Amino acid sequence: MALVFAGKAVATAAISFWINKAFTYLKEYKVEGIEDIKNRLLQSMPKIQVMLDIVNPRYVKEQSSALDAWLWQLRYAVEEAEDVIDVLEYYKLKEMAKDHKVSDWGSSFSKVKHKVIKSVKHVSSLDKNLKQCTHRGTLKRLREAVEGLDKVASDIMSILTVTEHLKEVASCSQQQEYSTNDDRVTGLTLTPPKFVGREKEKEKIVRWLTNASTDVSGNLMSTDHIPILSLIGHGGMGKTTLAQRVCEEMVRKNFKVIWVCVSDSFDVTSVTSKILESATGEKPNANCLETLQQNLIHKLKYSTDFLLVLDDVWEDKKIDKWEKLFAPLRTGKSGSKILLTTRMQSVAVLAAEAMGIETEFLTIEGLEEGENLELFSHSVFSGQNPQDYPNLKPVSKQIVKKLGGCPLVTKVVGGHLRSKMSFQHWNNFLQEGLEHFKGSEDDIMEVLRLSYYCLPTELQICFRYCSIFPQDYAFKMKDLVLMWIGSGLISQAGNKPPKRLEDIGEQILAQLAGKSFFETNIKVDPYSQRKEKYYIMHDLMHELARYVSSGECARIISPGMLENEKDTVRHLCISGIDYLSTEEVKKILHFKNVRTVIIEGPGLIDSNLFHAVENVLEQSKSLHLLQSNLENTFHLPKIAHLKHLRYIDLPRISPDTISGLVRLYHLLLVKCFNGSREEPKQVRYLGNIDHLRYVNYGKTLEFPIGRLTSLQELHNYRIQGGKCNKISAISNLSTLRELEVLGLENVESHEEADNVKLNNKKYITLLSLAWSARAAVENGKDELLLNHLEPHANIETLRISGYGGVKSPIWIENLRVKNLVSLELARCLYWEKLPSLGELLSLKHLWLECLPSLQQIGQSSDVSISGCIDLSLPPNLDTMIVRRCKELRALPILPTTLVHFETSNVGLTKLPRIGKECNENLETKSSRLLVVVVEECKCLNSLEESLLVQGDYIKSIHVLRIADCEDLEAAPLAFEQMNELRELDIRNCPKLRTSRGVGDTFLPLTLQKLNVNYCGELELPLIGALQGLTRLSELVLEKCKYLESLPSDDVFKSLKSLKFLEIIGCENLSSLGGLGSLQYLIKLKISACSKLMAIGSSQTPDALSSGEEPVVVTTSTLQIDYLEIDLPDILHLEPLKGLCHTKGLVIRGGTQLESLPEEWLLWNRGKLQSLKIYSASSLESLPLHMRDLCSLNFLLLYGAGKLQSLPDFPSSLQKLDITCCCKELEEKVGVNESPEWNNISHIARVHIGTACLL
């Protein structure tokens, strides 16, 4: 759709900008006969604007092919002028780079010669005449571009007559009345997502998730039939949001949530890869379906119950695809489930049929009118008082009634109407924009299109661009904004005074999110607790982006799509380049004006295919952005010909590529890594690219950065001695936003640090200062240096590591960094005291790691008579992590805002309390405390008078972990008050005392994970409080020396969610109690329980000498998927003796293991898939009945040094691994047709000793 670009991207302001720039160059180079053209063009601008204003973008193609063609001509003409001007500016930058090159690296003779030539060139008009001669071809091209633009503009009158019959877009035409700057989104803090209603639906899903999986007869389902619940509804009804809400609120602690967005491309290999990536958190290396499935099977075997969410599924034709997808999932836990979202009931039916189960679905209808009104009000009045707009109340109710309860449309319409809070604007939208709205999917998409067309120009451009990314893609703000800039989508035209490109881009993204074109979410790093915001498009919004970007943006996921795309495509992403042939790759050249190319693949690809990719890239002359994840080394010796390139992100590049790279003078971002060992000398010329804003070369930056005055971020800049990298080189970089300096021990003097002028760099928000580890530290030198590296007060994130000083720098001591949000100090071995941080009102994140000399933070802060204190910690702190500070005996009073508190390997003698500030409201705030971790505090002896006995604050705790506090005695923990507790872990605190008896301790019903490990007198009360914990899924009992018997039948029957049980090192345990009553247990581990083992060894197993099948009679309901034990003797005990559905057995018995439990193995032969034996040094033979284990597919024997022969293995065995075996056996299997060879020849993967047989 041409108008997609022309009506929005080529606004008259932009056209005028390029026209004026073009004529400036033509005049400068004395090109004659251009004044008339200029005057005609400038006179045409108002007419072009009128035409763009009156045309309805939705009907251009349908109503006027002539107008569509004219709009594309306009685009071509403007882009051609832009490209030619870009080339002329390239030559200017090239001249400047030559000057830099000679002055920095040239010999004395070269410098003198260059100076003479330069002085001669600048005499009178000689320079311009020379340039006119040199750039004759480019100037001719520029004149032709201007003439082409003039021709297109001259056709405007005939086009205007064509458009007379086209309707105006009512409210959309008014969008020109406001610009980006007028929108009510005033910053990057976005409106928090609002979830309204759906309580009944949530309740039904949670009930389905928590109920046991049974078939129509009421019998427990096997793992071959995983229950599936499908959420069915129109697009935009909130199916995905509802599934996310359920996962976040109620599910994640009970299930391993695996989330995959499927979309309309149901490729089994791709979806399986996504499932594996979500399950492991890492992108799979494999791209073969069989390998992916095996890896997934291995992952799911030992994980908790999984909840697989297949979002936005469309496949309702080919059942074999579903069967292939489900194959590896059937090996998972019996409690696992699948939640599916789709718009079609036929999808739900086919998926259930493929799984072999009854179809279960939940139809998601529109919100109730009251709920929808609440959502609309939140969207449209966010940050404002609805009472200030009483005239809008009646019309808002009418709009909501008309919308019919679709949440996405409600949010988008609210975001659109928020831009103009007038009755006329709202009423026009109601009467005309919603005139034919009935709530169908087509109606919903029509309203979304209308909202899109009413966006300001710059928002439309950037929104369309996002269609080249996959559906459900998680965008990081910085990454997306830089790609917008690199692809040339963001301009400073029209911004007076000129704004920073990144600021414009961030504001655009914030506005799109504020108008619900993006949704926001937060990721938290589990170690550092750093939070990162990311943006996601709803699937309907992605569909909209693909529609409105047709002909301009393309995402290619199959070879056939290349044929269907028009040659007008400007922004291209090829996902799965390995699926294309070399001939198909060459077809990319069909897109002659492509500006963005993103190549995605599996890592390394075939060399011939890769060479074809390289050739195509070198011929894409209009390229602005190049990105790839391919691990092949790019050889692009002609990359210097790509004069428009601004953004390059390639994992590996060759030295000849670097030689061309340093001649790309428009470059803004470089993210490349040298593919060879030798560092090419040419890399130093990166310092000559004046416009460079971001550079990550992957190694120490060894080029003159001082001239890169546009640099926004500088990371991994290592100070080196001598003439190499100096800290003073940073002094000219006044636009920096992020700075990371390493090797500060190599700074020669504090005067050199003064020259950096950090405190004048007001734009830096993130500063990281690091010293390397040193054998000898000069405390005074480090202190002096850090004092002279004072940042500007605007700094938000500060990281200091390796600092050797004893004192805090003056600027921290005096709290001159008032705007800090995050402070991280690490490896500062001699730092003794931190000042009071109570005046840092913005500080939310405090991380202190490895400050072994730290003794004090602030002044001692005792609670006053009034019960309030002056805080030494920031009053709005939400995360505090203190690790490896052994001399720190006490922490200050904690603020009431704290969410995450963690102390590990700290010399605390007592834990701090939470206290209110003296000026804080006397009413108790609702507690925000979620996580408390106390580990390796060797001096801690009491929890009395700490935050853990403050009833107002412990009630909100989700996770409590107390571990390795060996002197801790007094722990008056009121668990019954922790009514939100999910995870309780008390380990290695042997001196713990309690005043409560076994029947007096109560655990909250919310508990899901419990670890009781060597915790003194608290051991039995905790175990005795298990009754009725219906949500408990994991239980670990370790080194419980008072434990003689596991809980009774009644207790275990009540643990309806228990999936994992570990019993380790309980030396006095002599009875398994009511273990057989655990109906839903998946994995059981019993290890180092000596009394239990002795009882098991005293039992005599039934012999198999008669050759009859073993018969085991048991009343146990225990069905364990995976069992791990020390020695087989324990299998003589009930209920383990009666197990018959076990899929995996691990025996770690050590030297005492002489034989395998043959009778037990045969009893489980129908299900047993994996058998692993560790430390099998005494094992001399394997049972002859091994061939009867008909489901076995993996056998591992580790350290089987006495094993000299192999039996006949079952045909099901796919992998055999025998390590550290005797040489005789290794030699036997190496002889073809030997008995051992014949017994293993059918096995796909065999590893015996040092031999690897496939």
| Residue 926 or 146, more confident | 926
pLDDT confidence bin for 109, thresholds 50/70/90: very low
Question: H/E/C letters for each residue in 1152-1215?
Answer: HCCCCCHHHHHHCCCCCCEEEECCCCCCCCCCHHHHHCCCCCEEEEECCCCCCCCCCCCCCCCE
Instruction: Choose the most confident range, by mean pLDDT, from 12-21, 69-78, 239-248, 692-701.
Output: 239-248
Residue keyed to tokens 């002329």: 88
**What is the pLDDT, as a whole number, of residue 315?**
86
**What is the pLDDT, as a whole number, of residue 950?**
94
Residue keyed to tokens 């427990």: 220
**What is the pLDDT, as a whole number, of residue 921?**
53
Whether 7 shows a pLDDT value over 80: the answer reads no
| Residue 404 or 846, more confident | 846
**What is the pLDDT, as a whole number, of residue 190?**
34
Whether 222 shows a pLDDT value over 50: the answer reads yes
Q: Using CA atoms, how far apart are residues 423 and 457, in angstroms rounded to an integer?
A: 24
Domain boundaries, the chain: 2-168, 199-213+223-363, 369-549, 552-632, 1026-1097+1115-1139, 1149-1254
| Mean pLDDT of the 543-569 span | 88
Any idea which of 263-267, 777-781, 807-811 has the lowest mean pLDDT?
263-267
**What is the pLDDT, as a whole number, of residue 894?**
95
| Mean pLDDT of the 1131-1144 span | 91
Phi, psi of 223 (to 5 degrees): -70, -10
Burial 553-579 (b: 16+ CB within 10 A, else e): bbbbbeeeebeebeebbbbbbbbbbeb
**What is the pLDDT, as a whole number, of residue 617?**
94
Q: Using CA atoms, how far apart are residues 351 and 328, in angstroms rounded to an integer?
A: 15
| Mean pLDDT of the 1146-1169 span | 86
Phi, psi of 445 (to 5 degrees): -65, -35
| Mean pLDDT of the 1224-1244 span | 78
**What is the pLDDT, as a whole number, of residue 111?**
45
**What is the pLDDT, as a whole number, of residue 191?**
37
| Residue 859 or 969, more confident | 969
| Residue 571 or 538, more confident | 571
Q: Residue 1066: helix, strand or coil by DSSP?
A: coil
Q: Using CA atoms, how far apart are residues 1036 and 985, in angstroms rounded to an integer?
A: 9
Residue 686: other Cβ atoms inside 10 A: 23
**What is the pLDDT, as a whole number, of residue 986?**
97
Q: Using CA atoms, how far apart are residues 348 and 1011, in angstroms rounded to an integer?
A: 40
Q: Residue 1151: helix, strand or coil by DSSP?
A: helix
**What is the pLDDT, as a whole number, of residue 923?**
47
| Mean pLDDT of the 1116-1135 span | 88
**What is the pLDDT, as a whole number, of residue 1112?**
46
| Mean pLDDT of the 317-326 span | 88
pLDDT confidence bin for 1027, thresholds 50/70/90: very high
Query: pLDDT digits over 274-295, tens only?
Result: 888 888 877 887 778 888 888 8
| Mean pLDDT of the 788-808 span | 96
Q: How far apart are the first and last CA of the chain?
A: 55
Query: Within 515-599, where are the H helices?
Result: 539-548, 559-564, 582-586
**What is the pLDDT, as a whole number, of residue 627?**
95
pLDDT confidence bin for 852, thresholds 50/70/90: very high
Query: pLDDT digits over 451-494, tens only?
Result: 888 788 788 889 999 999 998 888 999 999 999 999 999 877 66
- Both tokens assigned to 283: 């992108």
**What is the pLDDT, as a whole number, of residue 2?**
38
**What is the pLDDT, as a whole number, of residue 50?**
62
Phi, psi of 575 (to 5 degrees): -100, 120
**What is the pLDDT, as a whole number, of residue 656?**
82
Query: pLDDT digits over 341-388, tens only?
Result: 988 888 889 999 888 888 898 888 888 878 878 888 877 777 677 777
Query: pLDDT digits over 297-320, tens only?
Result: 877 766 667 888 998 888 888 888
Any idea which of 415-419, 787-791, 850-854, 1073-1077 has the lowest mean pLDDT?
415-419
Mean pLDDT, the chain, whole residue set: 81
Mode of pairing for the β-strands spanning 900-906 and 931-935: parallel
- Both tokens assigned to 674: 């040298």
Distances 786 to 266, 744, 764, 794, 1001 between C-alpha atoms, Å: 57, 9, 17, 18, 53
**What is the pLDDT, as a whole number, of residue 165?**
45
Q: Using CA atoms, how far apart are residues 42 and 608, in angstroms rounded to an integer?
A: 51
Query: pLDDT digits over 599-626, tens only?
Result: 998 888 889 999 999 999 999 999 999 9
Query: pLDDT digits over 661-716, tens only?
Result: 878 878 888 888 765 555 556 666 666 677 788 887 655 556 667 778 888 998 88
Question: Is the Cβ–Cβ distance between 766 and 737 less than 8 Å?
Answer: yes
What is the CATH architecture of 199-213+223-363?
A: 3-Layer(aba) Sandwich (3.40)
- % of the chain residues with pLDDT over 70: 79
- Both tokens assigned to 106: 């040239």
Any idea which of 64-68, 438-442, 1199-1203 has the lowest mean pLDDT?
64-68
Whether 1000 shows a pLDDT value over 80: the answer reads no
Residue 329 carries which side chain, given as an amino acid letter? L
Mode of pairing for the β-strands spanning 738-742 and 713-718: parallel
pLDDT confidence bin for 860, thresholds 50/70/90: low
**What is the pLDDT, as a whole number, of residue 866?**
45
**What is the pLDDT, as a whole number, of residue 768?**
96
Q: Residue 325: helix, strand or coil by DSSP?
A: helix
Whether 903 shows a pLDDT value over 90: the answer reads yes
**What is the pLDDT, as a whole number, of residue 14?**
60
pLDDT confidence bin for 765, thresholds 50/70/90: very high
Q: Using CA atoms, how far apart are residues 1241 and 1237, in angstroms rounded to an integer?
A: 6
DSSP secondary structure of 948-980: GG-HHHHTT-SEEEEE--TT--B----GGG-TT
**What is the pLDDT, as a whole number, of residue 173?**
40
Q: Residue 615: helix, strand or coil by DSSP?
A: helix
**What is the pLDDT, as a whole number, of residue 213?**
58
pLDDT confidence bin for 147, thresholds 50/70/90: confident
Phi, psi of 655 (to 5 degrees): -55, -35
Distance, C-alpha 502 to centroid of its chain: 21
pTM here is: 0.78
Query: pLDDT digits over 804-844, tens only?
Result: 999 999 999 999 999 999 999 999 999 999 999 999 999 99
**What is the pLDDT, as a whole number, of residue 454?**
77
Mode of pairing for the β-strands spanning 694-696 and 669-674: parallel
**What is the pLDDT, as a whole number, of residue 1111?**
46
- Both tokens assigned to 860: 């001692």
Query: pLDDT digits over 158-183, tens only?
Result: 655 555 444 433 344 444 333 343 34
